[in-house]
Structure 1
């Protein structure tokens, strides 16, 4: 079964013929490590499903400091959703951290699927609900958890991601310095021995 079909079927039942209708509106792309899938200032018209690879969504503040918003690995979705839904220039950058294979769908094609197949609209509603909950939990954890607890939560929720992304990117995601991340890792190793 196609990975996207498996992914959809985790949330809604979608038959083979309906999935073929869905897949015809997605376009496969292969991008190299370092490629910027989305750059600041562009109007985003696609969202992407990750078949293989790892991507990072981040912004650069006025002082040039990077703030990682999201990592996206296999079976995850990635885009600048503010630009995608509001049709305004992107403030985020989506960069490929590994060579990646993606499926992309244009916003107009997605709306066409919503009209044709209500279960697809239901699937994307569930995706948005899950994303909203995850982002809200992340905001709350950054407000009340210590850096150590945020790191523990990151390792628990994304056990293999630390091997695929750079330390400064994880530190940026956690809202700490790379030096603080290094200290937390050393403390964790010492406590496990």
Structure 2
């Protein structure tokens, strides 16, 4: 029997759940989701790194999220509202993902109702994380946000471009370089 915190799943439950997920692989540079596409999947990152970003009307990219091992990723605005993608998801390090469709997730919820609680808990953690990020952007200086970023995404800097990190933090590349230099010189 599988045990996750207070949640227990039988081998039959696990087999049913596993059959609903599809293992997919993406290479660095591949786009997983394009702006304007229909969004009916969520992705669990088994390995690799992905980036979700918004492209402004002027063409500037704004990084919204990085997803590393054991994280979930999708365009949740489009996924939950059943609209077309407003974000793009790209693979920035070769990745192995498990994708699940909305329909398959509903099948799991129907057959194994306790999975809804598990999913609700995941969504609650994501919501808290998002609010913390918003509050940090409003109340912390760039250096504090960068330090938090390095804690939240350990070792990510080795395969993420500097301008992606700067975009995520809402700062320029020059500011990112200056912050890194300050930290190194301490």
Determine if the TM-score, normalized by the shorter chain, exceeds 0.5.
yes
Gaps of 5+ in 2: none
Superposed displacement of residue 11, structure 1: 6.5
User: Which residue, out of 32, 35, 42, partners 2:37?
Assistant: 42
- Cα 1:180–1:98 shift into 2, 3 Å: same
SS where residue 99 of structure 1 aligns? Answer: strand
Matching of residue 18 in structure 1 with residue 29 in structure 2: no
Superposed displacement of residue 10, structure 1: 5.0
User: Which residue, out of 6, 27, 30, partners 2:25?
Assistant: 30
Per the alignment, residue 46 of structure 2 pairs with 51
User: Which residue, out of 48, 55, 77, partners 1:60?
Assistant: 55
Deviates more, 1:53-62 or 1:14-23: 14-23
Per the alignment, residue 134 of structure 2 pairs with 139
Superposed displacement of residue 163, structure 1: 1.8
- Alpha carbon RMSD of aligned pairs, Å? 1.6
Per the alignment, residue 78 of structure 2 pairs with 83
| Structure-2 separation of matches of 1:176 and 1:39 | 25
Which of the two has greater strand per residue?
Answer: 2
Indicate conservation of the 8 Å contact 1:11/1:123, yes or no: no
| Structure-2 separation of matches of 1:19 and 1:38 | 28
**Matched pairs, number:** 186
Task: Give deviations 1:121-165, integer Å, cap 9, x for gaps.
Answer: 111101100000000000000011100111111112222112221
SS where residue 100 of structure 1 aligns? Answer: strand
SS where residue 20 of structure 2 aligns? Answer: coil
Superposed displacement of residue 79, structure 1: 0.4
Superposed displacement of residue 63, structure 1: 1.4
SS where residue 89 of structure 1 aligns? Answer: coil
| Structure-2 separation of matches of 1:107 and 1:166 | 32
Indicate conservation of the 8 Å contact 1:12/1:122, yes or no: no
Per the alignment, residue 159 of structure 1 pairs with 154
Superposed displacement of residue 20, structure 1: 0.7
